[in-house]
Amino acid sequence: MLTTANQYVRLIIDCIASHGVGTAYCSPGSRNAPLLIALESHREILKHVVVDERSAAFQALGCALVERTPVLLVCTSGTAVLNYAPAVAEAYYAGVPLIIVSADRPSEWIDQDDSQTIRQFGVLSHIVKASYDVRAIPEDPSGKYTAGGAWRINRTVNEAMLKALEGKPGPVHINVQLGEPLGMMEEIAPESPRIVEQIERAEALSKMAMQEIIRSLDGKKIMLVAGFMRPDNKLDRAVRRLAALPNVVVMAETLSNLHTPARHASMIDAVLCRLTEEEKEELRPEVIISIGGALVSRMLKQYLRLNRPDYHITVGHSNYFCDCFQSLTTKVEIAPAGFIAALAAGLSKSVNHGGNSDFAEKWLLARKRAAAEAEAYVASAPWSDLTALHYLLTHLKLDNLFLSNGTVVRYSQLIAHSCHAEYCNRGVSGIDGTTATAVGGAVAYSGDTTLISGDMSWLYDSGVSTLGNMPGRMKCVVIDNSGGGIFRFIKSTSSISPEILDTYFCAPSDYSVSDIAEAYGYDTFEANDLSSLEEGVKWLDAPSDLPGILVVHTPPEVSAEVLKGYFAGR
């Protein structure tokens, strides 16, 4: 097998491949030549070459989200690895295992005005689970690779791979110091590296600990709060059993990928904004059980902070301490599915609901009332972001759905809809990388992928469209409301004078989304009202060899007023 002559680099890539990594996103460079050459010899790894490291990292993120396996990133030295930072931060807080391998100059050349050289080791240390500095340069003066050096390399990469996957998964960074020669190749016989396996920690509490929790929650008013998660059939079944209890209510955002029988349970803000102060107090939970990541709903966070429960149990692996509702009492570091299943089984045997047997029913009535009022409001509302997104989410054929941050993901929480899986970069909630993440997910998924994005998010990340790897089975919808429409609504900015608001916050682009999309070679369709949107949805759902981009133009000021009216219950 013809591959790199650098034995230490071969060991790095061999070990990563043997841990089951099947996809790599790599970017061209000189210093990373040995890594790319070694990677090419692994035909079982699917390679994607992406010139822009920032886009490569977001595509790897989307791929890892959908495949649920670690994805490898390989870049050259200098600022290349810095371009990974936004996607790596998202991966850290979202619990996505990215294996970042960056090439570097030998340590003695740092700060010596050598080209493409920065203080590279540890540059991602605050947004990865661990950083490793590997010197892939022979220690022997004669240039020979040593058994001790090979052991060190193998041990370090094994540690990095286990760290990425243990507990809550996340990114790790392996910085590789490389010296000349870089492009030398030789024929070698393939070898199997030593692989260290790790026995998973217990995925269930002891029987005694579980019984104690069940006793303490028996008869209490319980609210299960679910933030963003990847689909989990076992968890979905467990939540359904828990939700069937009369003293349990479920607040599941659409990004939780939980498909509870009452799907309008996801319309959290629609319910909360219509409750009276007396109802908020009456419906206050005594116990919160939280699973998943950060919430989109600011209303729910505020409600639970102001109406604090007696107990707050958070369930799931975490890499940091989080007390979002300011009421945390118990942290359970196991996967949620087993815990929820055991809790549902234990509580279902109880006949004592402490006078709270109508807790779920009261919430259900509030939800039905809110859903009816919300639907009536949307039906009578003028053309706006709300009416456009309501039609899209209820009429598009949705399989895998990716949403941008800002306007789109917030509206999606107000509209009952269903799909195979729903994703959004809510780890750090940035608008950057939305399209690239969706492209990575679409490439990894055999079915159809739909991206619904705001114009600011799409234009910010439009460069990914030049890379030519957007599959034809991917559909894009861009809500063009003249910039950052969410700033016209949120409390912190909506009262700013129109001149400053438009210039510094909403920042409408001088460029047309449609013109840019067409320049990149994509089919486009523009909608300006409900009638043209109906035609646009038919056009987007029709089979095509090219990815289609449906651009939906909505009036920004009207959209802001319509949303304010929605929450005011007008």
pLDDT in tens, 9-24: 999 999 999 999 999 9
What is the pLDDT at residue 263? Answer: 47
Segments making up each domain of the chain, as ranges: 2-187, 207-367, 381-568
Q: Which two tokens stand for residue 283?
A: 């419906």
**Distance from the Cα of residue 212 to its chain's centroid:** 34
pLDDT tens-digit map of 300-325: 999 999 999 999 999 999 988 999 99
Question: Poorest-confidence range of 46-60, 71-85, 177-191, 274-288?
Answer: 177-191
Residue 86 pLDDT class (50, 70, 90 cuts): very high
Mean pLDDT of 542-565: 89
Contact predicate 148/75, CB 8 Å:
no
pLDDT tens-digit map of 107-138: 998 888 888 888 999 999 999 999 999 999 99
Amino acid at 166: E
Domain topology for 381-568: Rossmann fold (3.40.50)
**Distance from the Cα of residue 188 to its chain's centroid:** 40
Q: Name the residue among 518, 519, 520, 527 with its Cα closest to residue 550.
A: 527
Q: Which two tokens stand for residue 86?
A: 């936004």
> How much is the CA Rg of the chain, to the nearest whole Å?
26
Q: Which residue has the tokens 């780890």?
A: 427
Please report the DSSP string for 489-540 in residue order: TSTTTTTS-HHHIIIIII---SS-HHHHHHHTT-EEEEE-SHHHHHHHHHHH
How is the beta sheet containing 449-454 ordered, strand by strand? Answer: 421-424, 400-403, 449-454, 474-480, 548-553, 523-527
Residue 435 in this model has a pLDDT that exceeds 50 = yes
**Residue 350 belongs to what H/E stretch?**
none
Mean pLDDT of 362-371: 92
Mean pLDDT of 498-510: 73
**Helix, strand, coil percentages, rounded to 5, for the chain:** 45, 15, 40
Other CB atoms within 10 A of residue 558 CB? 18
What is the pLDDT at residue 261? Answer: 64
- CB-side exposure of 251: number of CA atoms within 13 Å? 28
Distance of alpha carbon 224 from alpha carbon 249, whole angstroms = 6
Q: DSSP character for 126?
A: G
The chain-wide mean pLDDT, for the chain, equals: 90
More confident residue, 185 or 329: 329
Contacts of 459 (CB under 8 A, 6+ apart): 509, 511, 513, 516
Distance of alpha carbon 435 from alpha carbon 357, whole angstroms = 46
Distances (CA, A) of 479 to 65, 424, 437: 24, 16, 18
**Residue 434 belongs to what H/E stretch?**
helix 434-444
Contacts of 560 (CB under 8 A, 6+ apart): 485, 488, 489, 494
- Judge if 2-187 and 381-568 fold alike in CATH terms: yes
What is the pLDDT at residue 355? Answer: 64
Please report the DSSP string for 66-86 in residue order: HH-S-EEEEE-SGGGGGGGHH
pLDDT tens-digit map of 142-201: 778 899 999 999 999 999 999 999 999 999 999 999 998 888 889 888 888 998 988 876
Mean pLDDT of 324-336: 93
What is the pLDDT at residue 352? Answer: 63
Q: DSSP character for 122?
A: T
Give the orientation angle of helix 336-348 with respect to helix 207-217, to 10 degrees: 60
In three-state secondary structure terms, 470 is: coil
Amino acid at 222: I
CATH superfamily of 207-367: TPP-binding domain (3.40.50.1220)
Residues 266, 267, 273, 274, Cα dihedral to 10°: -110
Q: Which residue has the tokens 């950057």?
A: 432
Longest distance between any two alpha carbons in the chain, whole Å: 81
Q: Please give the class, per CATH, of domain 2-187.
A: alpha beta
**Residue 388 belongs to what H/E stretch?**
helix 385-395
Residue 103 in this model has a pLDDT that exceeds 70 = yes
In three-state secondary structure terms, 26 is: strand
What is the pLDDT at residue 351? Answer: 60
Residue 466 in this model has a pLDDT that exceeds 90 = no
Mean pLDDT of 54-70: 96
Distance of alpha carbon 81 from alpha carbon 79, whole angstroms = 6
Distance between start and end Cα atoms, the chain: 71
Question: Poorest-confidence range of 240-244, 295-299, 494-498, 564-568?
Answer: 494-498
Q: Name the residue among 326, 315, 257 with its Cα closest to residue 290.
A: 315
Q: DSSP character for 235?
A: H
Q: Name the residue among 197, 3, 12 with its Cα closest to residue 104.
A: 12
Question: Poorest-confidence range of 165-174, 513-522, 549-558?
Answer: 513-522
**Residue 436 belongs to what H/E stretch?**
helix 434-444
**Residue 376 belongs to what H/E stretch?**
helix 359-380
Contact predicate 157/12, CB 8 Å:
yes
pTM given for the model: 0.92
Distances (CA, A) of 357 to 136, 212, 354, 386, 525: 65, 21, 7, 36, 52
Question: Poorest-confidence range of 197-206, 319-328, 501-510, 551-560?
Answer: 501-510
Residue 493: is it exposed, middle or buried by C-beta count within 10 angstroms (0-12/13-18/19+)? Answer: middle
In three-state secondary structure terms, 15 is: helix
